[in-house]
Amino acid sequence: MQRFVRYRSRAGLASVAAAVLLLVMQPTDAAWWLVRIPGVAALLLAAAAVAIPPAPRRPTWHAPLGRLAIAALFAHILSVVAQEPEIWRWLSAAMPVEIALGLGAAIALSMTLAVRRSRSLRLRVGPPATLGLHRIAGLVACAAAGAHVALVAGSTFTIVSLVACGVAMLLVAGNPAERHLPALIVTLGLGTGAAAALAAGPLAQTRLAGLRASTVDHAGFSHGDHGSIACTTCHHNFVDRSGKENCITCHKRLTISEPMRVDRMFHAFCGECHREEKAAGRKTGPIDHCMGCHAD
């Protein structure tokens, strides 16, 4: 049993590592590497800390890996703020899901250390419950960081599947013994609850209303930059003459559910072509750098 558990967590870690490798091979903007590298390092280190649980009376890599994960996380956040000083403008109810998940992962990862360090918490709820909270925070951090990475624009189907498999194996392996079943149930409950709140109900309505109400930001688009591309590549409904309306105005009206969000559709649409052009070594537009498109 013990060997099987270890095997599962190693397999989970390998799956996450393979996804990270594939993600790093995707083209991005030059300056964005400073954001991407510490970000994927934080995910890998946190997954490794979950996969290598501390052994009693023996030094292990668990705690050093956890601390390194937190250091990488802060480097990631600082580089995002340095690259995109205007990132704050998206911290509203309409915040894209991937940013919300990234923030959730950052809070949960910081909680692992805070819970471990808090003497008053240990005195109040006792060491086993403190350990339980530490474990839940670690698993939630891995799951949210995995979802954050899987949802950022440019994650392919293979990357999404590898992250999902890896995180699922880590979650199961992170809760081996019977007495840890409550931790698994709480983790899954939190995850399902958060997903349900985002996908339906008043929270989803507030988010979509916020998105529709935000001013149309022409996203730095200029026809001059795209002169050599056939009009119908982008004006998909030009043929029946309904395509004269502005894309973004119409698509904001179409935003009726999370998967139809205008940001998700346009990030995939604009970014995909820029990524392909970059991979082919041609001059192209911004890929991940928000202000490359969003500055007016």
By CB under 6 A, name the binding residues for ligand HEC: 90, 94, 96, 211, 214, 216-221, 223, 225-226, 229, 231, 233-237, 242-243, 245-248, 250-251, 254, 262-263, 265-267, 269-271, 273-274, 277, 283-286, 288-290, 292-294
* Residue 49 CB, nearest approach to ligand HEC (Å): 27
* Residue 50 CB, nearest approach to ligand HEC (Å): 27
Nearest to 103 by CA among 231, 194, 16: 194
Among residues 134 and 251, whose Cβ is nearest to ligand HEC? 251
- From first CA to last CA, the distance across the chain in angstroms is 59
Among residues 188 and 273, whose Cβ is nearest to ligand HEC? 273
* Residue 249 CB, nearest approach to ligand HEC (Å): 7
Query: CB of 166 within 8 A of CB of 19?
Result: yes
DSSP string, 200-237: SHHHHHHHHHHHHHSPP--TT--GGGGTTS-HHHH-TT
Among residues 5 and 234, whose Cβ is nearest to ligand HEC? 234
* Residue 144 CB, nearest approach to ligand HEC (Å): 17
Per 3-state DSSP, what percentage of the chain is helix, strand, and coil (rounded to 5)?
A: 75, 0, 25
* Residue 19 CB, nearest approach to ligand HEC (Å): 19
Among residues 176 and 220, whose Cβ is nearest to ligand HEC? 220
